[in-house]
Amino acid sequence: MSLLEPLHTTYERIDPRERLSAREVEVLEMAALGLTNVQIAGRLHVTIHAVKFHLAAIYRKLGVTNRTEAAVLFLRASSEGSGPPDTGPA
């Protein structure tokens, strides 16, 4: 990446699912769909603190600062036909 290249072009090439754990992908997907931390915690049967912990790890791993930036990366990767993450044998 050159110093003159805008940062957003770098972000566009990132597939978040390649950098995140399976649980982090679940949390990010729900956040991208607009669920609140309370709703995510309820669906995953974890505490709100655990959701916040996962979100902080997601932001750090993706190099973003907030939920919206993380959601944009996730939704772009999903819309580019990369399909759902591989969860192993059914």
The pLDDT tens digits of the residues spanning 26-72 come to 999 999 999 999 999 999 999 999 999 999 999 999 999 999 999 99
* Report field, pTM of the whole predicted structure over 0.85: no
pLDDT of residue 89: 47
| d(C-alpha 16, C-alpha 58), whole Å | 9
* CATH classification (class only), 14-79: mainly alpha
Name the residue ranges covered by the structural domains of the chain.
14-79
Residue 16, exposed/middle/buried by CB under 10 A (0-12, 13-18, 19+)? buried
Instruction: From 9, 35, 5, 41, select the one nearest 23 (Cα to Cα).
Output: 41
